[in-house]
Structure 1
Amino acid sequence: MLLPGQRLGFWKFVGNPNAKRGFLEGVVLDEGTLRPGVGGGLCQLTNLIYWMTLHTPLTVVQRWRHTYDVFPDNARTQPFASGATCAYPALDLQIENRTDAAYRLSLSVGQTHLVGAWSSDRAPAQAYRIYEAMHVITNDAPAIYMRSNIIRRKVLNLEGVEIGDELVTENHAQMM
């Protein structure tokens, strides 16, 4: 439960992802190279939590983006860099509840998908639509392509009328 005024820190909640604590080996992106590592793949979880949080009135106070764009465009379902990477203990995802309502984070791991939801003790007062703006790919050096964009969110009232448009983040990453 994330009560009004509280902060959720991913690493404070999860702890050190080591083998002694039961974490398994997964894929880690390290300086642009994929390698096996204990706790690898946890950024899939922070990606999900971050994406879900952008659709709530909760405030992301710390988020790190990947320095490399590793996902192909042909199956992309979300804007580039709309996730959040993590690396224990420094690269953390932190979320504050600056509302006057309590929120509960629910997560489960299925055979092929992570499933999550934020729920609240109050009905939503608005909805959010996340979108990408100013998407650019540049060739900065031989065989070095950089991708940049801005992630924004439209705030909609319950009738679907736009009542705000907010900057979420600006992203830059080398394409793999």
Structure 2
Amino acid sequence: MKRRLEWIFDGKKYAKTRDGDKLEFRIKKHQSVLLKKLGDNNEQLQINKITNLKIASANINGIIIKPGETFSYCKLIGLPTRKKGYLLGMELSFGQAKAGIGGGICQISNLIHWLVIHSPLTVTERYHHSFDPFPDDGRVLPFGSGATVFYNYLDYQFTNNTEHTFQINLWFTDKCLEGGLRINTELDYT
């Protein structure tokens, strides 16, 4: 309830417009492997995670972040429920992996955070996982560079304090979740 009140009264303008047409210029692209190995982890939770990712990504793909707007992961995704089609997936809670409805959707927030930190956008709310569930499974990003979310307590937010318009695109290949951060004009930023 507190978070919902914040969304209404905090004075921020939240990004909500989506556009199926990609903005012209790409700032960053990244991919994340869908199925990972975790000891005795229930493989079905990993398979279900893919369904969860596809449902959640549909709420973010194409989102436009205009100057002055704030992106809120939880506001865009909403509460993951069975009614929305979410399945049991792996969640990380108090240092342990467990099954939970909508589990695994942090993979999207992790990917988005990696895109955002390679841009002039300003991260305003971020939490990281308390432990690394996949320490030796082909890690390409350092542990601690992710962004955990848990509706509606732990959100991932960033603000566009620039004069440019940005867009997040998400898509899937057979083995990966892929994402790109795009902009409406060329940007001299490295």
Q: What is the TM-score normalised by the length of structure 1?
A: 0.69
Whichever of the two has the greater Rg, that structure is: 1
| 1:67 aligned residue | 130
CA-atom RMSD in angstroms: 1.3
Please name the residue that 1:104 is paired with.
Answer: 167
Q: Which residue of 2 aligns with 1:43?
A: 106
Counterpart position of 2:115: 52
In the TM superposition, 1:82-93 aligns within 5 A as 82-93=145-156
Give the equivalent residue in structure 2 for 1:7: 70
1:116 aligns with 2:179: yes
The within-5 A match list for 1:161-176 is: none
RCO higher in 1 or 2 (8 Å CA, sep ≥ 6)? 2
Identity value in percent: 38
Task: Using the TM superposition, give the Cα deviation of residue 69 of structure 1 relative to its aligned residue in structure 2, in angstroms.
Answer: 2.6
Match of 2:97 in 1: 34
- In the alignment of these two chains, the number of paired residues is 127
Asked if 1 retains the 8 angstrom alpha-carbon contact of 2:66 and 2:166, the reply is yes
The DSSP-based 3-state class of the residue aligned with 1:44 is: helix
Shift of 1:71: 2.9
* Letter matched to residue 114 of structure 1: L
Secondary structure in structure 1 of the residue aligned to 2:100: strand
Aligned-partner Cα distance in 2 for 1:43–1:6: 22
Q: CA–CA distance in 1 between the matches of 2:132 and 2:90?
A: 15
| Alpha-carbon distance in structure 1 between the residues aligned to 2:150 and 2:169 | 22
Once the two structures are superposed, what CA deviation does each residue of 1:90-115 show, in whole Å capped at 9, x if it has no partner?
10000100000000111123332111
Larger helix proportion, structure 1 or 2? 2
Runs of 4 or more off by more than 6 Å in structure 1? none
CA distance in 1, matches of 2:172, 2:104: 12
Q: Distance in 2 between matches of 1:22 and 1:73?
A: 31
Q: Is the Cα–Cα contact under 8 Å of residues 97 and 133 in structure 2 kept in the other structure?
A: no
95-104 vs 30-39, greater mean Cα deviation: 30-39
Which structure 2 residue ranges, 5 or more long, are not aligned? 1-63
